[in-house]
Structure 1
Amino acid sequence: MTTTYAVLSEGLEKNYGEVRALSGLDLAVPEGTVCGLLGPNGAGKTTAVRILTTLTAPTAGRALVAGHDVTGAPAAVRRAIGATGQYASVDGDLTGAENLRLFARLAGLRGRAVRARADELLEDFGLTEAADRVASTWSGGMRRRLDLAAGLVTRPRVLFLDEPTTGLDPAAREQIWTAVRDLAREGTTVLLTTQYLEEADRLADDIVLVDHGRAAATGTPAELKARIGAYAEVSVDGAGALAGAAAVLDQLTGALPTLDPERLTVGVTALDPGLTLPRIVRALDAAGIAVTDASLRPPTLDEVFLRLVGAPPAPKNPAPAPATATATATATATKENVA
């Protein structure tokens, strides 16, 4: 069975003067899936999104979105995508309904279709009751749902979400997650950039870890976790036992343990699939080390991130901040259609 890719890039590069934001980024996102694009600040995630949404041109390489070349057919790309930036693009002085009608007109809808599409989106996102209130009176979660709805006015084949839940409380974040899952089930391809690794773990079918402008690792959340093995942690009865426990775990795993004198714990990542908790406890007991607690669990995505990508780079001259993608891409496409 042949896989059709909604987003495909090969050797994507972008330079800002002497600063290289992308250094040959390869992406392959199958249709109807959620792809999490993760990486440290300055790794190139936002630059990649800007290129894929036609807001900036690559220095080298090639990218296709919904089958269209981002440099050869930018108008066709814009007609096929929706995009929501890190901050809500809605107008606080307009009501929710007025905001969506504005975006519908910018997208080229006319007449009754404008109101019909706005009403449909308000219903889909549970915003109908607040539709006639100005958006500045809405909660942060409601505004983000409205922003997400605005990115879907044109029923895009591919939706770009750049840090969609920044600054939201857990309840509002869960609302956005539910909306994204529903979109994926309905066949929309979603490219998600986020610093919340739990968000990527919950939503993404596949993850691309970006570091220094390249794909450092790719795979499902489970596959990436399996690459760094299980995490063992033991609590000891007194600071004097920390070094001995670390030596035992080092011998068992061949990895460098981490000591926490305040918590009286020693932790280590174990790649050996045959390592079990009873084996750890027996080895510690044989060494005469008193243990108050012990655990062996799969790694979190945070631990995967730190192990495979590490500390964030500190670019001298970071790429320009992205414009509000929803409004910019839609307005540009509208101007080209009018011209």
Structure 2
Amino acid sequence: MKLGYHIGYWSSGPPEGALDAITTAEELGFDSVWTAEGYGSDAFTPLAWWGSATSRIKLGTNIVQMSARTPTAVGMSAMTLDHLSGGRFVLGLGASGPQVVEGWYGQPYPKPLARTREYVDIVRKVVARKEPVTADGDFFQLPLQGGTGLGKPLKATVHPLREEIPIYLAAEGPKNVALSAEICDGWLPLFFSPKSDAFYRAALEEGFARPGARHTAADFEVAASVPVIVHDDVEEAAGFIKPALALYIGGMGAKSVNFHHDVFARMGYEDVADKVQDLYLAGRKEEAVAAIPTSLVEDTSLIGPAEKIREELAVWEKTVVTTLLLRGDAATLRKVAPVLS
């Protein structure tokens, strides 16, 4: 199992020590480093800025929100970063949710699966640069239909370094996971648990079996963000993670549409997820954090003494996950890497 480093979202400003952590990850032999975006910092700029200090490690977005940019714009950024990094770029995409898409981008959120399919197809056409890019989909038309009539199919002026750039899809529901296996080169799960491996394995296999699927399980990447905390006290370690879980389960989405809540409900924590959501949305955030059992943290994280983590890692290695994405500063990476190697 490979290791990657996830910088994560910025809070009020750039994360302190990010460059040191990234160069440390490369020094330690990590396979990849990833940036994120929500409704603050973007994913491409920090990746280019900090990634310029590296020479080997893969540079990925986890994730670029599709509603933030047209597919041709993403194709342009992907080709640009691939050139600047010498062919090390990995494009991670995601549909996000209606709360952000409608509230922040002012865009509709219709049929995310069909829209994702069209989006990825156009990005691949831009990067391949085989012919002028055209599209006649339900969501994207190139040239635009009903405009001035002056638009014409165009081909990127830049020649790609690679005619295919790996595309990974962030997905939580089974249909979206299956779509990642069908049309993409990798899957970016959030809140993965070995207990859910059979569920996700079946969804992936459904995608692999579809006509025209690009991969099989043997050459498909699954890069999962997994909190890892080496600590003698399991309860204290869990306490560091619970506030973020409460935010995602309770507040990252509306009560009626919260994909993160649904992940934990499928995992067997539906009552817990409902309670956390109710408390969080009522403004009782500390109570929401306290409502999360340590068992839920342990199901989706690797925490505790080094020996405990090594034993649990053996279970993770039997799952569909191919890369563990870690977070933390340079000192954390140096402490955790030997435990996982």
TM-score (norm 2): 0.32
Greater relative contact order (Cα 8 A, min sep 6): structure 1 or 2? Answer: 1
Indicate the structure with greater strand content: 1
Is the radius of gyration larger for structure 1 or structure 2? 1
